[in-house]
Structure 1
C-alpha cells in the first residue's frame, strides 16, 4: 500500500509532489527546507532553517509511523558548505541514535534565501 503525506506546503501542490511517500515499510521524505510551512515564512539564519526543517521531517516521520531514530539515509544540501559545521550539534542531536548513512552536497537551492535542505529515507517503526 502506498500512502502520501503532505506538510501543507504550497510548494507540494504547485510543483506536484508529496512531502513523504510511505511504501513497503519505507518512508521517503522529500527535500525539506527551513520554511515554517504553517506560516510559509523562512527565517534568515541557517541554524533556524535547520531547526525548522528537522521539525518538519520529524513530524512527517511521526505521521508515517516512524521517527528520526529510524532514519537510514540522509542527504544535506547547503549553498555554502562553510555553514555546515555550525549545524553539527543539531544534526548530532537529531540523528545520534540512528547514525544513518549521510552525504552533504553544496548546491544552489530553489530560492536564494534558502540555506539548508534535507532529504531522508527511514524505516517504518516495527510493531
Structure 2
C-alpha cells in the first residue's frame, strides 16, 4: 500500500506535499503545526499549539490506518527551547509509550505565529 493524505490543505497544497505517506506498514507524517487562516490555533500559547499539532498528527495517522500509540519516532521543532519542560510533560501525556524523540530550537517556522512543528514516524500494526 502506498497512500498519501492531507490534513492542512491550505499549506500542503500550496507547498505541494502530502501530510502523511504510508508505504507498507510504515508511515511518515510531515511537519505538522497549529496553523490557521488567521494565525495559529491556540494563539501565542505554545502548549495549545503543541496540542493542536498532535491532534492533526493523530488525524493523519488514522487516515492511513495507524494511531498515536504506533509512533516510533517524533521530532519537535520549537522557537523557544526554554519551554522544553512543559512540552515534554505534554508529550508524555500523549505518548506514554515513549517513542524515540528529538527536540530542536529553530529561529522561525513557516509563519511568525507558529511556535512548534511536529514530525512523526509510525507503523501500522495488523
Partners of 1:4 and 1:31 in 2: how far apart?
Answer: 14
2:49 corresponds to: 49
SS at structure 1 position matched to 2:35: coil
Partners of 2:104 and 2:117 in 1: how far apart?
Answer: 10
2:87 corresponds to: 87
Partners of 1:8 and 1:74 in 2: how far apart?
Answer: 19
2:117 corresponds to: 117
Give 1:106 shift.
0.7
When the two chains are superposed, the root-mean-square deviation of aligned CA atoms in Å is 1.4
1:3 corresponds to: 3
Give 1:8 shift.
3.8
Q: Which runs of 5+ in 1 are unaligned?
A: none
Q: Select between 71-80 and 4-13 the one with higher mean Cα deviation.
A: 4-13
Q: Which runs of 5+ in 2 are unaligned?
A: none
Give 1:89 shift.
2.3
Equivalenced residue count is 123
